[in-house]
Amino acid sequence: MTRKQRWVVLLAIVVPLVLAGAAAGGLHWLREWDRHPAPDSGRPGSWMTVSSEFVGEFSRVRPPASAGEVRWAYQKGFQDDTAYLSFRLPPGEEERFLADLGTAVEPSVESPVDSGALEGFRHAGAPDPGAAGPLREGSFLAEPLPGHNKRLAAKLWLATEADGGARVWVYGMDAP
């Protein structure tokens, strides 16, 4: 085999390997980009920068003016968007808050907060509901907002704190 033929064979082997490696690297980058979209990109899975008022309107749960330590997050979904809201009610405010909300809460059984909701609360910078002690939970289904075609399914958890106040966590998802 001549020197020229060896180079042709070598190039015939090396070039496809280099191209295959580049294609695999590109596909890996595209998959990572798809699985972890940039914040505020509006792509499914991206965390959006919105106001607490927006999250309150979306979730149909507005923290009372007396609420403190308000934390929120909003994630754009492929079909359904999700909102996460947490706040602390001062002592004596829980009953009025629940009456205004129009939902009952009952003691939780098993593991009440799923991993998706926990991730959202962590993203919002809210305390972990699993570390809060005994939780009570409630849920409600709300009609679509004007101009929207999806209802809202919301779940909330409450934990009484040592001073008699309450910590509230709300997870809301729009649903067809």
Pick the CATH number of 47-175 from 3.40.1000, 3.30.70, 3.40.50, 1.10.3470: 3.40.1000
Total-model pTM: 0.72
Residue-wise pLDDT tens digits, 73-84: 888 887 788 889
**Range with the poorest average pLDDT among 25-34, 37-46, 119-128, 129-138:** 25-34
Cα three-residue angle 56-134-142, rounded to 5 degrees:
30
Q: Smallest Cα–Cα separation from 132: which of 156, 97, 157? A: 157
